Amino acid sequence: MFGFISAARQQYRVLVAVAATLLLAGGVYAQNFTFSQDGEDVVVARAGEVSEVSFTLSLESPWYIYAPTGINEDQGLIETRLVMRPNKDIQFADAVFPPAESFGTYDVLRGSGNVVTQPFRVRPRTPAGDYSVKGFVEYQTCDGTICLPPNRASVKFTVRVVE
């Protein structure tokens, strides 16, 4: 008479087991990507001049990310990108990523020590001082079997404008 109740309990148990597995998997896979600023948290620059800040991108084996070459995007994949928030005193050019590695029909980045450079220019007549810069790196890690959901990591540094 109440067989639907035990079926509902069984479905609930299955859903809880699946959710727990996904949470545990997320925890296991959460540390496969690091994106850190090279050197000091403060980048010294002069008004009117082009400068750059460098970051190191590292992935644990066998993980990779899709390189920002356009080839992956044309196939509907999430390419890695570095996005800096608009700033009235600092202009940003496109980030420069290391050369991609061909992986079948994809261009990928993998391994450690991948240097990403973000060129910028402090606008002329910008007063000396410290300017906070924020942004994010957007990426999707894959290992040939599974791709994790797209993710974002915050980026923050200070540009110290000197005379």
Structure tokens at 66: 């899709």
Structure tokens at 119: 């060129």
At residue 32, the pLDDT reads 80
d(CA 147, CA 11): 27
pLDDT of 20 strictly over 50: no
Any idea where the domains of the chain sit in the sequence?
1-30, 32-162
Tell me the pTM.
0.77
Q: Provide the CATH topology of domain 32-162.
A: Immunoglobulin-like (2.60.40)
User: pLDDT tens digit string along 38-78?
Assistant: 877 899 999 999 999 999 999 999 999 999 999 999 888 99
User: pLDDT tens digit string along 95-113?
Assistant: 999 999 999 999 999 999 9
Question: Of 49 and 26, which is predicted with more confidence?
Answer: 49
At residue 12, the pLDDT reads 55
Structure tokens at 135: 């942004």
